[in-house]
Structure 1
Amino acid sequence: MKNRSGRRARKKRRKKRGEAVHVTLSREESFVDLRRWLKQKGFSSKCLIPASFTDTGRGLMAAQPIKANELVISLPERCLLTTSSVLKSYMGEYIKRWKPPVSPLTALCSFLISERYFGDIAEWSPYIKVLPKSYTCPVYFSNDIMDLLPLDVRIKAVSQKEQLEELYSSSLPFFLSLQPIFTEPVEGVFTQDAVRWAWCSVNTRTVYMEHAQSDFLSREKNVFALAPYLDLLNHCPDVQVHAGFSELSRCYEIRSVHGCKKFQQAFICYGPHDNQRLLLEYGFVAPGNPHSVVYIDLGTLKLCFNEVDRQLQQKLLFLKDNDFLRNLTFGVDGPSWRLMTALRLLSLKPEQYSCWKSILLGAPVSQDREDWCIHKAQMLCQHLCDDNSNSLLRIAQLKGGVEGARLEQLCVVETLRLEERAVLERSEQVLRNLLPQPSPWQPNSIENMEH
């Protein structure tokens, strides 16, 4: 009988069951160089090895069982790329004499760009070589892909692009001052594309680490630390870890709360982030994310406005003053408390004016007003579902015949929209269950409810 327990057979069975299949990367030249370079700096890891997974891409696999509360990784301070590293480098003297002082972010971005330019002779070359060549963050998106995003995240993504452009233009004089370091014109080194790459590298891969304020940097908070090898750990919202820099060991340490089985991917949790925030900050979406929500912008909320309501402007001002016109969402458990509270206030009749303040404190509304709110929430949910379906259709059309970075960007937006659709479908079901079912001989009058 043929032996079906080989590695290839196991991979085929896992793939058929929908499980993630991995391919080890530990023998790839770039990772061999990285591990050798880190070993010279005092770090080695027999517990975790680099691998490529079908569901998350590059990550770290447990080469042996990791027990609960066991130290997963301990990266020495000298392996961390911080502003202190930059100030001690060849770039330090230029930063120290530049006035006004550059920001910690600009210092790190400048150093990354410079090290990438110098290639093999750069000190941090083994780390630079394993960094992504580009990212799936929205700052890389073309306008047509940007238009496929939900409006709330699109507005934030446009703001990010503007911030990045401002960083480039404001830092350009400093970049020009670095000309003595390079043999070619500095304008060709510190391009907008290079700054975008460096900005994404810092924004997506740094770990939080507080640093003492430097006299040579601006007063902006300095909490950046690039952590080679450790930054290969991918995010999973269900995983619990203890992470931070240890003053005792002078290492950045990650300790697993529940452990990890051998040959499984080891994860960390970046925080209780919804998928929109994960896309904006890290360039990926977490399928099945329990923190995932769908946001309702003010333009969509206007579908619930009754323009003949003489108190409408007062209600909107009251909601705005009490910060109830933002962070209105649908989640897997249905419409959020904030959304329903805003709708309850919008539903009030003129004679219920005295209830306004108590509504924000969770006071109940009359049954007819509560039914009105549920109906309006259903209408909002359906509107978002329609927008979602239209975007998914356009994404499917754009994916035809494209490849490379553009295809990756379309796929991450598609995943966001699919996760959004799942949330909206769950909310629709919750809302249906909230409404009393009409008797067969009684028409459903909710659809006709107005002020």
Structure 2
Amino acid sequence: MKKSRGRTGRKRRRKHLKSFMAGVNCSHKLEYIKLKKWLKDRGFEDSNLRPAEFLETGRGLMTTKALQAGDLIISLPEKCLLTTGTVLSSCLGGHIVKWKPPVSPLLALCTFLIAEKHAGEKSPWKPYLDVLPKTYTCPACLEPGVINLLPKPLKKKAQEQQMMIQELFRSSKAFFSSLQPLFAENTGAIFTYSALEWAWCTINTRTIYMKQPRRECFSWEPDVYALAPYLDLLNHSPNVQVKAAFNEQTRSYEIWTNSACKKYQEVFICYGPHDNQRLLLEYGFVAMDNPHSSVYVSADTLLKYFSPLDKQKKAKVSILKDHDFLENLTFGWDGPSWRLLTALKLLRLAADEFACWRRILLGDVISARNEQQALDTAAKICQFLIEETQQVLLQISQLKRDKENLKTHLALVEMLCSEDLKILQKSAEILCNLNLGTT
């Protein structure tokens, strides 16, 4: 059939594209039907939110009516929330209370998720468990080869995250073994490392902040986690604002929007003003054109641009370290950060200016020469990071062809690096303009 080229055809194509961009409603899928029924049985009133698949964000929630600033997005009853109170009310409760030293609230929740997942059809939480991700893209789940592609500061944090989960697993083996009376199968086959990793990622990426009363049966780590079925399908956008809190009167966790949202569009909430490295580390995703994003300069990268012959270098580095100026040095959409430029100015102090180092930390201008040298060095570091990022993107492109099984993880790192490259190129442009203005 010949493709329509008239006005009607154009309208039809625009409507189809608009529908595709808006999202594909998934309410008809069995897992969501079961989840909504399960939530209704626990007092959740059907809202205007529908599960849907979106082109850019994947699974999320769309609204069936236009939302205005001040509208309630969702109100989830306390009975729907999964907290440490839920865990203590389960068959695990007695074992947790008796165990010494006390387990952490995090471990209690992880244990509950693993146990309920193992219970399968017998679990009262099955409708919720069925819609949870089967795998995650947190750095903890990435292959070592993929982690090596991350920017240095993030790579270090990713490795620390993996080590933390490994240590949690190692230190929890005895506790897991104590639960054997509850299971016909050997606990070693149930509470595996991969099971704990999945549970940890579920809690780390999907919980809301909800402070729980202090309980003696738990360790002193913060008890602030609550899994919120259905609500946790809401995706993050750095460009929206919401109010979220537990309403003591309605005994529900509520989210109110401060941003408008059109009918049939995806509803977003904001997880916080996080940069992309934080989003990837904590949630396993990257936000495009994130206004909060920045590129971090490691201390090693910073210091290699200064001569080892500088007799005051050791003292300068010591000052920066003592005053916490070797961390959180960044390039952003508006150029090098004040912290980065301050560190560069201090490191670029001439011998006869060194006595003025305190003024540098206070933001004073010491000399035009010092200011210019700091900008020049910032430009060099920026260019180095641009070339380094471009090299990583080239590596990723090659790996995507060779490592089919790592494509998803590589695409995520590729997105992070692409966003970093845009920031660095913008910073380089700003620095170039600043240098032109001083010549």
CA change 1:347–1:114 in 2 (3 A) is same
The CA distance in 2 between the partners of 1:272 and 1:119, in whole Å, is 38
Q: What is the CA–CA distance in structure 2 between the aligned matches of 1:236 and 1:338, rounded to whole Å?
A: 27
Alignment correspondent of 1:429: 429
Alpha-carbon distance, 1:371 to partner: 1.2
Matched with 1:374 is: 375
Please list the CA deviations of residues 94-134 of structure 1 after superposition, one character each: whole Å capped at 9, or x if unmatched.
11111111000000000000111111110100000000000
Moved more, 127-136 or 3-12: 3-12
CA-to-partner distance for each residue in 1:212-236, whole Å, 9 max, x for gaps? 0011111111000000000000000
How far apart, CA to CA, are the structure 1 residues paired with 2:368 and 2:66? 56
Q: Is the 8 A contact 1:303 1:380 kept in 2?
A: no
Partner amino acid for 2:95? Y
Of the structure 1 ranges 183-192 and 224-233, higher mean CA displacement relative to structure 2 is found in: 183-192
- Structure 2 counterpart of 1:117: 118
Q: The residue matched to 2:226 in structure 1 has which SS?
A: coil
Give the Cα separation in 2 of the matches to 1:368 and 1:64: 59
- Residue aligning to 1:324: 325
**Are the structure 2 counterparts of residues 2 and 290 from structure 1 closer, same or farther at C-alpha, using a change threshold of 3 Å?**
closer
1:32 counterpart letter in structure 2? I
Could you list the runs of 5+ residues in structure 1 that have no partner in the other structure? 440-451
Tell me the residue number matched to 1:351: 352
- How far the C-alpha of 1:8 sits from its partner, in A, is 6.7
2:181 maps to what in 1? 180
Q: Distance in 1 between matches of 2:330 and 2:56?
A: 28
CA RMSD across the alignment: 1.6
Q: Please say if 1:25 is aligned against 2:26.
A: yes
When residues 392 and 279 of structure 1 are mapped into structure 2, their CA distance, relative to the original with a 3 A threshold, is same
CA distance in 1, matches of 2:423, 2:259: 28
Check 1:337–1:113 CA distance in 2 against 1; reply closer, same or farther (3 A cut). same
Bigger mean CA offset, 68-77 vs 348-357: 348-357
CA change 1:144–1:253 in 2 (3 A) is: same
In structure 1, distance between residues paired with 2:209 and 2:12: 38
- CA 326–249 in structure 1, closer or farther in 2 if over 3 Å, else same: same
> Distance in 2 between the 1:122 and 1:91 partners?
13
Instruction: Tell me the alpha carbon deviations over residues 5-56 of structure 1, each in whole angstroms, 9 at most, x when there is no partner.
Output: 88775233676xxxx3411110111111000000000003331000010100
CA–CA separation in structure 2 for the residues paired with 1:309 and 1:29: 69
**Offset of residue 200 of structure 1:** 0.1
2-structure distance, mates of 1:328, 1:157: 19
Deviation at 1:304, TM superposition (A): 2.0
User: TM-score w.r.t. structure 1 length?
Assistant: 0.94
In the alignment, what sits opposite 1:313?
Answer: 314
Within 5 A, what are the aligned runs for 1:44-55? Answer: 44-55=45-56
Structure 1 partner of 2:93: 92
Residues 118-197 of structure 1 correspond to what in structure 2 (within 5 A)? 118-197=119-198
Taking a change above 3 Å as real, the CA distance of residues 45 and 5 of structure 1, as seen in their structure-2 partners, is farther
> CA separation in 2, counterparts of 1:332 and 1:410?
24
SS at match of 1:396: helix
Aligned equivalents of 2:397, 2:93: Cα separation in 1: 49
Unaligned 5+ segments in structure 2 are: 1-5
Q: Tell me, in whole angstroms, the C-alpha distance in 2 between the residues paired with 1:264 and 1:183.
A: 47
Aligned-partner residue type, residue 283 of structure 2 = Y
Distance 1:7 1:62, change over 3 A: farther
Equivalent pairs counted in the alignment come to 434
How far apart are residue 402 of structure 1 and its match? 4.3
Q: Percent identity?
A: 48
How do 1:408-419 residues align onto structure 2 when only pairs under 5 Å count?
Answer: 408-419=408-419
Which one-letter code corresponds to 2:208 in the other structure? V
Structure 1 residues 189 and 323: CA distance shift in structure 2, 3 A: same
Q: Are residues 1:246 and 2:247 paired?
A: yes
Correspondence for 1:10 among 7, 15, 21: 15
Match of 1:288 in 2: 289
Distance 1:411 1:436 in 2: 37
Q: Label 1:233 to 1:429 Cα distance change in 2 as closer, same or farther (>3 A).
A: same
CA contact (8 A) 1:46 1:63 kept: no
Alignment of 1:325-344 (within 5 A): 325-344=326-345
Q: Which AA in structure 2 matches 1:51?
A: A
Structure 2-normalised TM-score? 0.96
| 1:373-417 deviations in Å (ceiling 9; x for gaps) | 11100110011111101110011111115446x221111101000
Q: Specify the alignment match of 2:79 in structure 1.
A: 78
Cα pair distance change 1:146/1:428, threshold 3 Å: same
What is the distance in 1 between the residues matched to 2:282 and 2:251?
A: 28
CA drift of 1:302 comes to: 1.6
Counterpart position of 1:444: none
In 1, Cα distance between the equivalents of 2:289 and 2:253? Answer: 29
Letter in 2 for 1:301: L
Change in CA separation of 1:289 and 1:401 when aligned onto 2, cut-off 3 Å = same
Give the Cα separation in 2 of the matches to 1:112 and 1:284. 22
The separation in 2 between residues aligned to 1:292 and 1:82, in whole angstroms, is: 32
> What residue number does 2:3 align with?
none
Does residue 1:35 correspond to 2:36, yes or no? yes
SS at match of 1:436: helix
